[in-house]
Structure formats: structure tokens, C-alpha cells
Amino acid sequence: MRIGLFFWSLELGGVEHMMVELARALVERGHSVTLILARAARPDEYLPDPRIGIVRLGCATTPRTILKLAVHLSSLRYDLLYTAMPTTNIAAIAAISLARVPTKLVISERSNPVLEARHAPTWRYRAAFTLQPFVYPLADAIVAVSAGLADALAKSARLSRDTIRVIYNPAFCDDAGNKDRPALHPWLLDKDRPVILAAGRLMAQKDFATLIRAFALVRAQRPARLIILGEGPERPRLEALLDELGLESDVAMPGYRSDIRPFLAEADVFALTSIWEGFGNVLVEALGAGCSIVSTDCPDGPAEILADGRYGTLVAVGDEAGLCSALIRALDRPFDPQEQRQRARHFSVARSADAYETLFQHLVGAR
């Protein structure tokens, strides 16, 4: 099959990483795969497998992206186009309509639509959720990355739940030994006390402020350290909170790391404190490293990944005291590493690629 994967860019982020992983898995299966990117190249981006084609439309606005994508689709005639997130989903639907090509379209939803719309940074992004009920039915298939997200999308976009397929993200890749291992933080190289790890973009959605306050409660009861990997607009606020709570000597925020698996392998507990997700790729990475996990029971994804608490403790969103208790419990009674790793394989790249390949072949064969 000739497959196009359409997104805005390959900047460092969860959706972009999943697109690159899916593209690699599909090209390894003998398909012709092209990443179609709306934006121009950026300094910090994921580097796809060299066998994957890259087309950059070089657009700064959505209307121009739709027009250039339509022209591109008319000239190359893909068998199937796959997209992720509301804005690119809608742009792809419009472009295929303009191009009048028989290309099959699979759109995917990656985050809770109600909460994304409520916290949308711009009116344009908010408008995409308003359009979902009218344009999503025009796609040949709709995918959600968790069952909870599929339920939420069906309700918010007024879609029949039966029309939404659930395919988990290709989040676990058992090839850690083939990658260069980045330098670890000194606290993980020479541990004199347990280390709690968190990772994600420093933004309000991830609610690292609650994690820091909960860690202050942990520190009042026992020695421990906290490392938060990531960058984002919340850094000044979080640093001010560390100063306010007197935690600078026990909490480190060393910035973004492209591969956090070596950190996970040495950490004692991984903590996720998001207010909402769509899946929670980092939880699968933590499982794959055999790490004990504490996570908020937020919509959508963590409860599914952790099997309602079997593979990690679930706490209410924003519950500092509950989070503190769960962290201490995980430090004292770690989860079984082998069982954690086995659970991660349920969300492997191979299993996700199998599901997508089956769906794509069915749609293309039905033309």
C-alpha cells in the first residue's frame, strides 16, 4: 500500500513520536510510507527511519495547508491517508474533498475532546471540536487510542460508538539495547535515597504542581528525591513553588530528554499526575522498564493501561494527600518488575501496527 501519514510537524511530542513509530513499523512491513508535514522543518525534531519519505508543505495557516495538501494528494494518489488530532483530521477531510481522489481516510483522536476544548489555547482550536459532529462522519474510519477516549468522543461529537475503533498507541518498543544511553542524573547513578521520576511537558494539563506538593508531604516522612523531566511554560511557576516549599535540594528539573527509558530503569517509582490524557504513552514506557507506578485516575487511558490498579496505584486528580500515601506505599512495596514488563507488551509497536495494517488493508481492499 502507498500510505500517507499527515501531521503538522515532527517536533518533539507524544503524537509526533507515535506517528514516527507507526511509520517505521509500516515501512518495515513493505509498505510505501510518506510523512506529509504541514510546517517547515524545525531545529528539534524526531528523525524518522530513512526509508520513510518526507513531504513538507511549508504552510503557516490551516487554509493554505488544506489547499496544498489537496494538490499533493491529487498528484501522488495515495491508497490511504492517516491523521491524528482534531485540526489535522478536519484539514485532511477538507483536502480529500477538494482533491476528489479515491484515497481512503483514517482519522484518529488522541486526547479527551471535552477537556481539550475547555482548555483550548485559541478559538481556532476550540472551533475544531465544534466541527467534529459534522465532518468526522465523512472519514472512512475513526480511531481512538483508548476505550475511554472512544466513549468520550462518541458522546461529545454525537457519533455512534460502534463507528469508533480502539487501537492503542505503539508505545512499547523492546529495543533499548540498540540505542545510545543518555547520561543519567547523578541522583540515579549514586543513589543514597529513593528517587521518584516524572516526565512530560511542563504545562497545566500535567499538574506537576500537585506532584511537588505531594512530594513535600513525602519528604516530611522519609528521605527521597524527585526528578521531573521536560520543558514548557510552567517552569517558572514550578520553580517558584519549589523555592516556596524549600525543596530545591531534593527536586531536580533537568529539562527535556528524548529517551527516558534509562531514567525509568533506575528510578524507584514513576508518577503521572495529569488532569487529563488520551492514552498515556509514558506509563507504558514505565511498565516496560519494570518501574512501579502511581498515576492519577484521569480521563482517559491510565486506568486501562494499569488495568484498574493491578499494575500501578490510581489516585484522584489533584489529591495531594492521596498521592503522597500512594508514593510512599509504592516505595515500600514495589510492583513486580517482570509483571510490569509483561504488561507493557500489550501496548507494543508490533501489536499496534498489526491493528492498523489490518484496518488499512480492509479499507483499501474494499474500494
Provide the 3-class DSSP secondary structure of residue 330. helix
One-letter amino acid identity for 173?
C
If asked whether residues 141 and 226 sit together in one domain, one would say: no
If asked whether residues 43 and 80 sit together in one domain, one would say: yes
If asked whether residues 150 and 28 sit together in one domain, one would say: yes
If asked whether residues 124 and 68 sit together in one domain, one would say: yes
If asked whether residues 152 and 185 sit together in one domain, one would say: no
- Only one residue has cell 463507528, namely 163
Looking at residue 178, its pLDDT comes to 44
Domain carrying residue 339 = 176-347
pLDDT in tens, the chain (367 residues): 999 999 999 988 889 999 999 999 999 999 999 999 999 998 889 999 999 999 999 998 999 999 999 999 999 999 999 999 999 999 999 999 999 999 999 999 999 999 999 988 888 889 999 999 999 999 999 999 999 999 999 999 999 999 999 999 999 987 654 445 666 899 999 889 999 999 999 999 999 999 999 999 999 999 999 999 999 999 999 999 999 999 999 999 999 988 899 999 999 999 999 999 989 999 999 999 999 999 999 999 999 999 999 999 999 999 999 999 999 999 999 999 999 999 999 999 999 999 999 999 999 996 5
Give one DSSP letter per residue of 206-266, joined into a string.
G-HHHHHHHHHHHHTTS--EEEEE---TTHHHHHHHHHHHT-TTTEEEEE--S--HHHHHH
If asked whether residues 14 and 155 sit together in one domain, one would say: yes
If asked whether residues 222 and 138 sit together in one domain, one would say: no
Looking at residue 180, its pLDDT comes to 55
Q: Is the dihedral of CA 312, 284, 107, 79 positive or negative?
A: negative
If asked whether residues 290 and 352 sit together in one domain, one would say: no
Contact call for residues 73 and 2 (beta carbons, < 8 A): no
Looking at residue 184, its pLDDT comes to 87
Backbone angles phi, psi at 336, to 5 degrees: -70, 120
Helix (H), strand (E) at residue 342: helix 337-344
Q: Taking every pair of C-alpha atoms in the chain, what is the biggest distance, in angstroms?
A: 65
CATH number for the domain harbouring residue 277: 3.40.50.2000
If asked whether residues 224 and 332 sit together in one domain, one would say: yes
If asked whether residues 245 and 317 sit together in one domain, one would say: yes
Backbone angles phi, psi at 298, to 5 degrees: -90, 160
Burial environment of residue 30 by CB neighbours within 10 A (0 to 12, 13 to 18, 19 or more): exposed
Total count of domains within the chain: 2
Contact call for residues 106 and 82 (beta carbons, < 8 A): yes
**Closest Cα to residue 80, out of 366, 350, 354, 351?**
366
If asked whether residues 200 and 234 sit together in one domain, one would say: yes
- Does the model's pTM come out above 0.95? no
What span, in angstroms and rounded, lies between the C-alpha atoms of 318 and 320? 6
Burial environment of residue 47 by CB neighbours within 10 A (0 to 12, 13 to 18, 19 or more): exposed
If asked whether residues 8 and 137 sit together in one domain, one would say: yes
